[in-house]
Chain A
């Protein structure tokens, strides 16, 4: 281990070190406020540490122990994870303060989950891939079940655990078969010589890994319990699951597809096309039927990951720079929008016993709390991909990548999916502008820090939608430096 190894891994070291300090701190004084403070400090220091690590990263990334590879893309994703974790911590404080006896462990789990996400995003080897994924998942099980006195979180955690463990097993089996066929576990070395007689293992292995990833991204037809998990988990954690855990897998997907070129096998390619189309159509169709905002967002996120897969699928037909740019922009936009969405669900239920998640609970929100309603409107429009919001820029890029890659079938699916999507996003908006029901009460007083966080996210949605140039320039420079 050289000194520059340390500098490159410094963000991760800071995060894990922060976890330990937090543990020690909690064991000395159990104060919720202190735990939050230490967590935020660890997250921010880790973000700052990226600045140091960037100095040591060369073109094409920096190889750590043959297990991780850190390049500009990873730094970008890490920044998003840390942003997601920070927002989650801010939302979690008032939420858990009001309803859980011991809140401090949540922050430890939040930090380990984020560290896991960073490992997954940087993984270039099966060992680091599965370890990162498990660190992330195991922290998430406990985070979902965190308010253990109530029913929905526990049930959601049990379901998520089974779902995620099946996915992990599938991925592990895929890895094992691939290893049997190729004799290596480093992504970059995984290739099948054409005369090899072990093609069937290899393809089966790749298929299993794809299935596992599809599970983790909850793509159709591997989406069964996703809505239940989204609904049952506390809104703060749902936001985290929907963003950080999926973002990490997407980052991994980029590295994996790029280094193994798995999409050049026809069978795998068409299977992924099927999954993408099915996610776009089925996700949107099922979202139509929902009356629960969390479930609606769950199906909508299924559809959005289907859209994102379009960019991944054209990797061999469009310019790689454009593909990577599209994915990064889409993920960034998706992070901001989703965090804002669950932030609002969380905000409106800070002082309720159950999460405030029925669509009807939002009736007349426009007249009761114009600020929150405006932000939620921006969120809905962004999810629908309407201009003025960052969601449009993201969708525009997907269209551009699809057109450049001449993936017309996928573009049609995207069009149909978006058309269906408009229905339920508009219904959400319409619910908010309806007249206030006689029985509806004004919202209880809500914490300032969460309102500020949600407002910042809402402003980001609009500002980056109207003037995306800074974001695009940043992403472009990352893409150029990563040598994709």
Chain B
């Protein structure tokens, strides 16, 4: 029962953060909500008996992918002058809602860790990271290799698109 309540709270946080994220006008603000939503989803994963997935969700998604986003957004500095943006970032109002949502999440996780009783469905059960690892390197070994090719393609693509060539530098010098 407690798990159910926790799930509802996490679910509410997810949806609320997601809605807020996609309705922001400032990309940096939106990304903060994204982090919140992703963390809430990690909680749900945990409640679903997949601690390993929950950990990965935080490390890779919230940790790596969103940071990548943030990095690009900061680097580009589009729109009005960046000073305006910085100032807006610091106002109190912007921060209240994400903080509240995150706080709720924290409470949920805390409660889940303390209570620790999981009711299960007929077949439903907790799946250990070990099991996942075994599946990954037996049944899905080809998929892992293909994922490697996928990352290689992404690497080459991002490298070509992201890097500056001679012509780019020359162009920039001319404009500046």
B140 touches A127 (CB 8 A): yes
29 contacts between A and B (CB under 8 A): A66-B139, A67-B142, A101-B165, A101-B166, A101-B167, A105-B156, A105-B159, A108-B153, A108-B156, A109-B153, A109-B157, A112-B149, A112-B153, A116-B153, A119-B146, A128-B146, A131-B146, A131-B147, A131-B150, A132-B146, A135-B146, A135-B149, A138-B157, A142-B157, A142-B158, A142-B160, A145-B161, A148-B160, A149-B168
Confirm or deny: B97 has a beta carbon within 8 angstroms of a beta carbon on chain A: no
Confirm or deny: A139 has a beta carbon within 8 angstroms of a beta carbon on chain B: yes
Residues on B with C-beta less than 8 A from A113 are 153
A68's nearest neighbour on chain B, judged by CB, is B142
Confirm or deny: B88 has a beta carbon within 8 angstroms of a beta carbon on chain A: no
B139 touches A65 (CB 8 A): yes
B143 touches A128 (CB 8 A): yes
Residues on A with C-beta less than 8 A from B166 are 101
Known: A142-B161, A146-B160. 15 other contacts (CB 8 A): A23-B156, A65-B141, A67-B142, A101-B166, A102-B160, A109-B153, A116-B153, A119-B146, A128-B142, A131-B147, A131-B150, A134-B150, A138-B154, A141-B157, A142-B156
Chain A residues touching B, majority SS: helix
Q: How far is the CA of A115 from the CA of B165 in the complex (A)?
A: 28
B138's nearest neighbour on chain A, judged by CB, is A65
Confirm or deny: A301 has a beta carbon within 8 angstroms of a beta carbon on chain B: no
B139 touches A138 (CB 8 A): no
B152 touches A19 (CB 8 A): yes
Q: How far is the CA of A104 from the CA of B139 in the complex (A)?
A: 35
Residues on B with C-beta less than 8 A from A16 are 149
Q: How far is the CA of A16 from the CA of B140 in the complex (A)?
A: 18
What's the least CB distance linking A53 to chain B, in Å? 15
The 7 closest A-B pairs by CB, nearest first: A142-B157, A112-B153, A131-B146, A105-B160, A65-B142, A139-B153, A127-B143
Q: How far is the CA of A141 from the CA of B141 in the complex (A)?
A: 26
Confirm or deny: A64 has a beta carbon within 8 angstroms of a beta carbon on chain B: yes
Q: How far is the CA of A149 from the CA of B149 in the complex (A)?
A: 27
117-176 of chain B: CB within 8 A of chain A: 139-143, 146-147, 149-150, 152-154, 156-161, 165-168
What's the least CB distance linking A244 to chain B, in Å? 14
What's the least CB distance linking B157 to chain A, in Å? 3
Contact of B153 among A128, A135, A146 (CB under 8 A): A135
Chain B residues touching A, majority SS: helix
Give me the interface of B with A, judged by CB distance under 8 Å.
Answer: 139-143, 146-147, 149-150, 152-154, 156-161, 165-168
B156 touches A135 (CB 8 A): no
B147's nearest neighbour on chain A, judged by CB, is A131
A134's nearest neighbour on chain B, judged by CB, is B150
Give me the interface of A with B, judged by CB distance under 8 Å.
Answer: 16, 19, 23, 64-68, 101-102, 105, 108-109, 112-113, 115-116, 119, 127-128, 131-132, 134-135, 138-139, 141-142, 145-146, 148-149
Residues on A with C-beta less than 8 A from B146 are 119, 128, 131-132, 135
What's the least CB distance linking A19 to chain B, in Å? 7
A138 touches B161 (CB 8 A): no
Residues on B with C-beta less than 8 A from A131 are 143, 146-147, 150
Q: How far is the CA of A68 from the CA of B145 in the complex (A)?
A: 13
Contact of A112 among B139, B143, B152 (CB under 8 A): B152
Interface centre among B141, B153, B161 (most CB of A within 10 A): B153
User: Given A101-B167, A145-B161: A112 and B156 within 8 A (CB)?
Assistant: yes
Residues on A with C-beta less than 8 A from B143 are 67, 127-128, 131
Q: How far is the CA of A145 from the CA of B142 in the complex (A)?
A: 29
A115 touches B141 (CB 8 A): no
What's the least CB distance linking B137 to chain A, in Å? 12
Q: How far is the CA of A138 from the CA of B146 in the complex (A)?
A: 13
What's the least CB distance linking B44 to chain A, in Å? 14
Q: How far is the CA of A113 from the CA of B149 in the complex (A)?
A: 10
Residues on A with C-beta less than 8 A from B149 are 16, 19, 112, 115-116, 135
Q: How far is the CA of A142 from the CA of B153 in the complex (A)?
A: 9
B167 touches A149 (CB 8 A): yes
What's the least CB distance linking B130 to chain A, in Å? 20
Interface centre among A16, A108, A138, A146 (most CB of B within 10 A): A138
Q: How far is the CA of A149 from the CA of B164 in the complex (A)?
A: 11
Q: How far is the CA of A139 from the CA of B157 in the complex (A)?
A: 7
Residues on B with C-beta less than 8 A from A105 are 156-157, 159-160
What's the least CB distance linking A15 to chain B, in Å? 9
Residues on A with C-beta less than 8 A from B140 are 67, 127
Interface centre among B143, B154, B160, B166 (most CB of A within 10 A): B160
A112's nearest neighbour on chain B, judged by CB, is B153
Residues on B with C-beta less than 8 A from A116 are 149-150, 153
What's the least CB distance linking B89 to chain A, in Å? 27
Residues on A with C-beta less than 8 A from B154 are 138
B159's nearest neighbour on chain A, judged by CB, is A105
Q: How far is the CA of A242 from the CA of B167 in the complex (A)?
A: 31
B143's nearest neighbour on chain A, judged by CB, is A127
What's the least CB distance linking B60 to chain A, in Å? 16
Q: How far is the CA of A23 from the CA of B152 in the complex (A)?
A: 10
What's the least CB distance linking B64 to chain A, in Å? 17
Residues on B with C-beta less than 8 A from A64 are 142
Q: How far is the CA of A150 from the CA of B160 in the complex (A)?
A: 14
Residues on B with C-beta less than 8 A from A127 are 140, 143
Q: How far is the CA of A142 from the CA of B159 in the complex (A)?
A: 10
Residues on B with C-beta less than 8 A from A146 are 160
Residues on A with C-beta less than 8 A from B156 are 23, 105, 108-109, 112, 142
A15's nearest neighbour on chain B, judged by CB, is B149
A135's nearest neighbour on chain B, judged by CB, is B150
What's the least CB distance linking B39 to chain A, in Å? 21
What's the least CB distance linking A9 to chain B, in Å? 8
Q: How far is the CA of A128 from the CA of B139 in the complex (A)?
A: 12
What's the least CB distance linking A344 to chain B, in Å? 27
